[in-house]
Copies of this chain bind each other. A is one copy, B any other.
Amino acid sequence: MTRASTRKPGEATGDDQAAVPRRLLEHATKLFAKKGFDRTSVQEIVEAAGVTKGAMYHYFGSKDDLLYEIYARVLREQTRQLESVASSDAPLRERLAAAASDVVVSSIDNLDDNTIFLQSMHQLSPDKQKAVRAERRKYHERFRGLVEEGQRSGEFRTDKPADVVVDFYFGSVHHLGSWYRRSGSLTARQIGDHYADLLLDALRPPVG
């Protein structure tokens, strides 16, 4: 299945040479983001990917499965990234700022996945939805751990529950897709740094 290639030298090159499951995932992501999960027919996906329905159902159990795989890939990647940043030996504020900024950048880099997350999660079958939520929860908890660490050390204000702060921040992040346009004047990194600044400054202990 992961065999690199069985194609002959004379075959068409370009987009065609990618493995079929890859191509399906790729085009499905684009279509789901653009038209929504329910409005995208399996027929459209396979046509975009240049294969047939038979091929798709050979690799994926259902249309649902396709969506799930997209989620799983993104979640794995984001979790990996957060873990690597959060467990470095830099000072806490730097670690949180890096994590906050990175999640913005990666959300913008993969705007499509982000959009799908927002709009189509609830259309997964209940058990798959549960799996996704569980993974997502772990991610949030790791992030929250950073906030709580700062609260214990006195660097951050303690009059706001950490989970409220985390939900506050990830609300902003998840909604990037609804307003961010690549044609805008700010780069992903700039937005990420702005967002991280806003978060960190909101966490400063009140002057009172």
Contacts and interface: CB of A to CB of B under 8 A. Distances in A.
Interface of A: 36, 38-39, 118-119, 122-123, 160-161, 164-165, 167-176, 178-179, 186, 191, 194-195, 197-199, 201-202, 204, 206-207
Nearest to A172: B171
A164 B194 contact: yes
Contacts of A194: 160-161, 164, 168
Number of copies: 2
Contact of A198 (B36, B118, B168, B176): B168
Contacts of A168: 172, 194-195, 198
Contact of A201 (B36, B118, B197, B202): B202
Contact of A206 (B174, B175, B201): B201
Given A122-B119, A199-B202, A202-B202, A175 B164 contact: no
Contacts of A197: 160
